[in-house]
Structure 1
Amino acid sequence: MLYALAQQAALSIQLTRLAEEAKQAAVFQERSYIATEVHDTLAQDFAGVLMQLQAFTALNPLDSNQAQIHFTRAQDLCKRGLVEARRSVWCLQQDSDQYSHLLGLVQHFTEQLSVSSPMPIHFESQGEPYPINPEFGRHLLRIVQESLANAIRHANAHAIQVQLLYASEQIAIEIQDDGCGFDSQNPPPSGFGLQGMQQRASLIGAQLTIISQPGRGTAIMVNLPIA
């Protein structure tokens, strides 16, 4: 009897340890993903800044039009790099329990991003907000962040609209821009992170829909059924 109890206690301890290790592995994986993303985006953007500034200094001072073009491009790349840095740092600062309150997170993030974004980001919500599973909230927030990052980096948009709807049977989010768009049936090789967003949606049982046409902007919609 004592042996059985000891075995049960040992098993319980082992399961607790494995659960904690799994949690730590998930945190490490998420932070590794963010670190990789920061490295890729910031390295590319600031390498581009360096090239533009080098071209700027090499130009004949009389060629003011070309100089201004390179200087403007460098400014744009700096703005994009700053957006990425703030987004990634903000992600690392969030407590897991805060993901239950999606409205506050999305609203705060869009406001912070608007400060350094080259185009305005408008946010609005409908319905009475309610807490959700923190894991669901985390993935939904990441989808919003990736959608906004794509719009800022690739869309050449004049404005971005974010809408969050709370209904009794679902939570719906739409991120829409008026940028260059793309063929959603034949997305670019880079994918703009679309596969990652689809994977996040699938993990929580949500449906992700992407509507885009060249020259007509892009709309990304995610619907999470609420049991």
Structure 2
Amino acid sequence: MGSKQEPPSWVGVSEDTTANWGPWPNRVEQAFPYFMLGLGVLIHLFSSEQPAAHQRVTLALAGAALCWVALTDTLPRRFRPAGRLLPLLSLTGVLVLAAVLMAREVPYLLFMIVGFFHALRLRPLWAMWAGLAVTSVLINSVAGGGPEETLWNSPELFLPVVVVQTLAIGGGSLMADKLLEQSAKRREALERLEAAMTENAGLHRQLLAQAREAGVLDERQRLSREIHDTLAQGFTGIITQLEAARSDPVEQERHLATATALARENLAEARRAVHALRPEALDTAQLPEALRGVAGRWADRARVPIEVTTTGTVRPLHPEVEATLLRITQEALTNVDKHAAAGRAGLTLSYMEDQVTLDVRDDGRGFDPGSPRPDGYGLSGMRHRAERLAGTLVVESEPGGGTAISVNLPAITAAEDR
């Protein structure tokens, strides 16, 4: 990165701010000395009663002032020379020539006003204040005989006028510069804000596209889980019952009736999964009763006794919470039937103040939770369901020691969802 360069010191009042005023104010400022000098000449010619020789000398001095302004102010603006000496030199010449002209003809007080504008360009600030003070002293005393005589005759008027005039012009200029600087900063901030809003609009469009893609993926995953939890499990149960009917003629009718009921239940659940509806068991009963129904039907099929317990104050939960607990129960019991070879099982639903917990346990063969298990959508599917609702799923098991699955979800009530 290169070093920061200081702006050239030779600039006009309208250019010496953070916010550039533009070309027209600069041109007006450059023309101002000529206008004031020309106005002074016109008034002098129409009002002077001095001899012709006196007027010729005065006009010659006015011509010298014209040349001085052109050489030390107008031309340097085009080249912008570095340094602070030339602006001070230009102001000094203007004040001297204006003082001489004003002493000869009072209308040249108008040209003396140019000194204020030259003084505002001086830097550092103490030089500006000094230039304004000197200009104010001269403009208020030359016509009265000079600074000393004016101070002697009316100090109570002369001094306050000089102080107030200096402070007013200098303070007003600095305040205007500050306001312009703040305006420029606000304009830059607005430009940055517009650019940020444009960028945010693009990001918003990008996020919407990503959200749509994520929604499609999430819907595919939902359907995949629902098919696994309903169709796959149902078909497994149907096949098991049909095989049992073929190998056990005595219980054939019971097995065929169970297979038929499973098929109908499976078809209804498949339709509901496609339409993202709640499980049918939750439409006609509260969650504890629905879990008892699921556990009872599973116990009849698996021929494994199961104890169902509910603790805490039962209350309606968010439909997604209840559906998740029901699906996890179905998957956990299916795993018990397929893998555990259990003699008995237990299910506990616990309602707490801000959480709801589901525990499914069995006394089966167990397994090592740390070892990789090719269980498809088994444990990983249950864990994904829990985590999707900011919950947790913990599996405790050991070979020969049974298995316990604990699911913990936020107890979001149905009322909180509205």
Report the more deviating stretch, 142-151 or 36-45: 36-45
Distance 1:224 1:40 in 2: 24
Match of 1:219 among 393, 401, 404: 404
Give, in whole Å, the separation in 2 of the partners of 1:149 and 1:213: 19
Q: Contact 2:389/2:410 (CA < 8 Å) preserved in 1?
A: no
How does the TM-score come out when normalised to structure 2? 0.37
Q: Which residue of 1 aligns with 2:314?
A: 129
- For 1:96, the equivalent position in structure 2 comes to 278
Normalised by the length of structure 1, the TM-score is 0.64
Q: Which whole-Å CA distance do the structure 1 matches of 2:344 and 2:377 have between them?
A: 18
The answer to whether the Cα contact below 8 Å between 1:31 and 1:92 also exists between their aligned partners in 2 is no
Matches of residues 76-95 of structure 1 in structure 2 within 5 Å? 82=259, 88-89=266-267, 91-92=269-270
CA RMSD of aligned residues (A): 4.0
Residues 147, 175 of structure 1: 8 Å contact kept: yes
Question: How much does 1:224 deviate?
Answer: 1.3
Question: Where in structure 1 are there 5+ consecutive unaligned residues?
Answer: 1-18, 54-70
Deviations 1:149-208 (A, max 9, x none): 000111000011000011112111100000000001114223570100110000001110
Q: Distance in 1 between matches of 2:372 and 2:387?
A: 19
Q: Gapped runs of 5+ residues in structure 2?
A: 1-211, 413-418
Q: Secondary structure at the match of 2:378?
A: helix
Q: What SS does the corresponding residue of 1:96 show, helix, strand or coil? A: coil
What secondary structure is seen at the aligned counterpart in 2 of 1:171?
A: strand
Matched, 1:201 2:201: no
Distance 1:45 1:190, change over 3 A: farther
Which amino acid counterpart does residue 96 of structure 1 have in structure 2? Answer: R
* Whole-angstrom CA distance in 2 between matches of 1:40 and 1:176: 19
1:110 is aligned with what amino acid?
A: A
Q: Distance in 2 between matches of 1:165 and 1:186?
A: 30
| 1:42 alignment counterpart | 235
- 1:179 — aligned with what? 364
Cα distance change of structure 1 residues 170 and 35 upon mapping to structure 2, 3 Å threshold: closer
Q: How far 1:29 sits from its partner (Å)?
A: 6.2
| In structure 1, distance between residues paired with 2:296 and 2:236 | 25
Q: Distance in 1 between matches of 2:403 and 2:305?
A: 16
Report matched runs for 1:130-145 at 5 Å. Answer: 130-145=315-330
More helix by percentage: 2
Q: Closer, same or farther in 2 for the Cα pair 1:40/1:123, shift >3 Å?
A: closer
Q: Contact 1:150/1:192 (CA < 8 Å) preserved in 2?
A: no
Larger strand share, 1 or 2? 1
Distance of aligned partners of 1:29 and 1:209 in 2 relative to their CA distance in 1, 3 Å threshold:
closer
Instruction: Report the AA paired with residue 371 of structure 2.
Output: N
Aligned residues: 183
1:113, CA displacement in angstroms? 2.1
Q: Distance in 1 between matches of 2:355 and 2:291?
A: 17
CA contact (8 A) 1:207 1:222 kept: yes
Greater Cα offset, 149-158 or 183-192: 183-192
Q: 1:85 to 1:208 in 2, by over 3 A?
A: farther
- Check if 1:162 corresponds to 2:355: no
Distance 1:34 1:225 in 2: 22
Report if aligned partners of 1:34, 1:88 keep a CA contact under 8 Å in 2.
no
CA distance in 2, matches of 1:118, 1:192: 24
